Amino acid sequence: MNIQQELNKVSGFKNLELLAKQVVEGFIAGMHKSPFHGFSAEFSEHKIYNQGESTRHIDWKLFAKTDKLYTKRYDDETNLRCHIIIDNSSSMHYPKMETINLDNLNKIAFSALAAASLMHILKKQRDAIGLSIYSDTYDYYAPEKGSERHHQMLLNQLSEVVVSRPLKRNTDTYKYLHEIAEKIHRRSLIFLFTDMFQSSVEESKLFEALRHLKYNKHEVVLFHVFDKKKELSFDFDNKPRQFVDVETGEYINIYADTIKENYSKAVNNYFESLKLKCAQYKIKYEEADINNNFNNILTTYMIERQKFA
């Protein structure tokens, strides 16, 4: 199946589950030698077989490859609880596009496919997954569960959010993070996808909310989603343009070269400030450039899952 052609058929994702599976399998296939214990193409956890144990769960395929006996590790209860949070404000739907493909994702489509890919791994690991979607309202909430029905429900929500076109919807990240912190009662791994477009006051409140999650013993990973070429480097030609704030409707008519240097400097400083604050509050910060693949997202998950105990 050609992923590129499949995505071009419709404005959103026709089969998000299949795309997520192929993204993950491509990532695993590209790893020369995984340093992460317990991960293979099938995401089965293994342990060395000890004489006297039941042979029921011996992985004979792995034995054929390695000439060593390993058993698949299955836990009676969920290994890990994970909650994925997605910012669905108007700015996350930048850049505006009629069709989506893997080489041309906007921020919300990148976040949805990244989330679906994480969910694919979590499902294979028999972990519980929850989902929150917010903007200036709490659009969606589902607690952590591990059932197939629940998994399909979350995939459906991710598909719907990609084709939604919210107009002038601001970001109230801090408000809903506080609510999520109160809803999640068991220690969990939290993944937040947001472009971090906040006012200075909102930014301060945002880190208070992130601290709330940390105070409740959750591990928090902030995936900072942005279009590096446009939103950081300000890579536009020097024709007269109208730049519009999609969350407020405010606009300015200007030549890009007039403000490019000052703009890039200000945004770079802001990004560095975010990284420092995340380090200060022991929040894992990861850049998520929508022009790149998903390797950084999936690698970060594997590292954080190994640390989570």
pLDDT score of 204: 77
Instruction: Give the DSSP letter string of 221-254.
Output: EEEEEE-IIIIIS----SSEEEEE-TTT--EEEE
CA distance 276 to 29: 34
pLDDT, one tens digit per residue, over 87-144 is 998 889 988 887 777 777 999 999 999 999 999 999 988 899 999 998 888 889 999 9
Q: What is the pLDDT of residue 9?
A: 43
pLDDT at position 199: 59
pTM of the complete model: 0.79
pLDDT in tens, 16-71: 898 899 899 888 877 644 544 444 434 446 667 777 777 777 888 878 877 778 77
Q: Looking at per-residue confidence, does 4 or 26 come out higher?
A: 26
Give the tens place of pLDDT for each residue, 214-259: 888 889 999 999 999 888 888 877 787 777 766 667 778 887 788 8
| Averaged pLDDT for residues 146-168 | 88
For residues 125 and 115, the answer to whether their CB atoms sit within 8 Å is: no
What pLDDT shows up at residue 46? 66
In Å, the largest CA–CA distance within the chain is 76
Q: How many Cα atoms are found within 13 Å in the side-chain-facing hemisphere of 146? A: 15
Amino acid type, 139: D
Is the peptide bond between 143 and the residue preceding it cis, with omega within 30 degrees of 0?
Answer: no
The pLDDT score that the predictor gives to residue 74 is 52
Which one is predicted more confidently, 279 or 305? 279
